Amino acid sequence: MIYSDPMNDTAQNVDTATLDTWRPFRGPFVRWPRLADAVLALLSFFLTIAIWGGERPEDDPSLALSAFVFFVAGNASLYWRRRQPERVHGVILAASALAMLFGHLEGPIFALAISLYNLGRYTVDQRSSAIGLIAAYALLIISELAFHELSSDDVITLLLLPFVSWYAGRRVRGRGEYLRLLQERAEQLEREQLVEAERAVAAERTRIARELHDIVAHQVSLMTVQAGAAKTVVQEDPQAAAKAMTSVEQAGRQALDELRHLLGVLRPGNESSEMGPQPGCADLPRLVEEVERAGLQVSMALDTGPRQLPARTELAIYRIVQETLTNVLKHAGPDAHAQVRIGIEGGDVTIEIKDNGVGTSRLAGSGHGIAGMRERAQLLGGSVAAGSRPGGGFEVIARLPLAEETV
């Protein structure tokens, strides 16, 4: 969590470790459920003894053994109140009925109030819970009719108190279910966020791999061709060999610059703020010059009009042209010529690249280069078609929509 100071517009991070270790208050019934239930059963037993002691006549000689049996059985069953609430309720009703039948009490034992709460709180079947409440009402009505004269206040109390205990349990159960659903929803959202984060990481890795492939494949291909040419003519024409090696050096330096630019994006903080922009249409003439220095003749027609193209579209145009010319340089053979035409037709940018080399040796869709071009185009909602030309050579036709970029 971040607290902002409006006076100086600074942000301070709160100790996240403290927030992570914070937990809501947990009472004894949550921390130590078994021990708490045992204490509750013992307390209910003593309250029942106290109530019975106030009701029995003064000339009663001693506590009958049967009373202890009924009181102990009814109150001790509270220890299992969470796991078997219906059975515990039945045992307490039976103990209360027997205690009243043998004259030990003029009403149910104190544990009945707790049992009604348990019935509402822990019983899954609502029908069983309602039947238990009705049975408790029947026992209370019988005890009131047998031992007391009912007044209007007694009737209201008789009808209200059992329902309050039972309904309180139902409300607590409902709140627990609601909190459980909220927790499950939060966990589901967390899992979805993790999956989305993994997808984002995978997409970023794919993007970086694509950029690295385009940069390295193009520059290394130029360096390989130039180095091969220098090796061929080094003895006959040392000046031409030196020129070729100069081109190798320039290609290597440019590859290093582009790699530094790409890897700078991965650096945190302000280290990436000094990185220059990604290549675009304005850099295509320089790209053509590099390819021509490597021995490939290229004619280019660029007509995008006065319209400013989106940065993502310009980068895709540059990479598609770069990858295609690199493929032509590697596979088209000697004396190859490439034609590049970039224009706007309707709402699309059309990129057509054709060569007169040995195009039949390259299958459409083979290798990572063409797959990378297709992926770039699909990210923008476009398409790439590549294949051999009928009269020889190879062609790549890409279409990138301008109306809306697909993210």
The torsion defined by the Cα of 369, 375, 379 and 384, in degrees rounded to 10, comes to 80
**Tokens 């220095």 found at:** 293
Predicted pLDDT at 396: 92
In terms of pLDDT, which residue wins out, 129 or 66?
Answer: 129
Per domain, the residue ranges of the chain are: 17-148, 203-267+276-401
What is the average pLDDT across 264-275?
51
* Paired tokens of 41: 């059963």
Reported pTM: 0.43
**Tokens 């494949």 found at:** 217
Amino acid at 363: L
What is the average pLDDT across 183-188?
89
Of residues 80, 43, 176, 183, the one with CA closest to residue 121: 176
- Local structure of 345: helix, strand or coil: strand
Predicted pLDDT at 406: 39
Q: What is the DSSP string of 52-84?
A: HHHHS-TT--S--HHHHHHHHHHHHGGGGTTT-
How deeply is 281 buried, as exposed, middle or buried, from its count of CB atoms within 10 A (0-12, 13-18, 19+)?
middle
Q: Is residue 340 pLDDT above 90, yes or no? A: yes
- pLDDT tens for each residue of 300-316: 998 877 777 888 888 88
203-267+276-401 under CATH 3.50.50.60, yes or no: no
What is the average pLDDT across 356-377?
66
- pLDDT tens for each residue of 233-254: 777 777 777 777 777 777 777 7
Do the beta carbons of residue 341 and residue 301 sit within 8 Å? yes
Q: Is residue 26 pLDDT above 70, yes or no? A: no
Do the beta carbons of residue 313 and residue 320 sit within 8 Å? no
Which range has the top average pLDDT, 14-23, 204-213, 393-402? 393-402
What strands, in cross-sheet order, belong to the sheet with 348-355?
297-303, 337-345, 348-355, 394-401, 383-388
Confidence tier at 151 by pLDDT (50, 70, 90): low
**Pairing state between β 394-401 and 383-388:** antiparallel
In terms of pLDDT, which residue wins out, 290 or 66?
Answer: 290
Q: Is residue 63 pLDDT above 70, yes or no? A: no
Rounded Cα distance between 210 and 260, Å, is: 15
- pLDDT tens for each residue of 91-141: 998 888 888 877 667 677 788 888 888 888 888 888 888 888 888 888 888
Q: Mean pLDDT of all residues in the chain?
A: 76
Q: Is residue 272 pLDDT above 50, yes or no? A: no
What is the average pLDDT across 309-337?
84
% the chain with pLDDT above 70: 73
Distances (CA, A) of 387 to 22, 237, 374, 394: 63, 38, 13, 6
Beta bridge partner(s), residue 384: 398
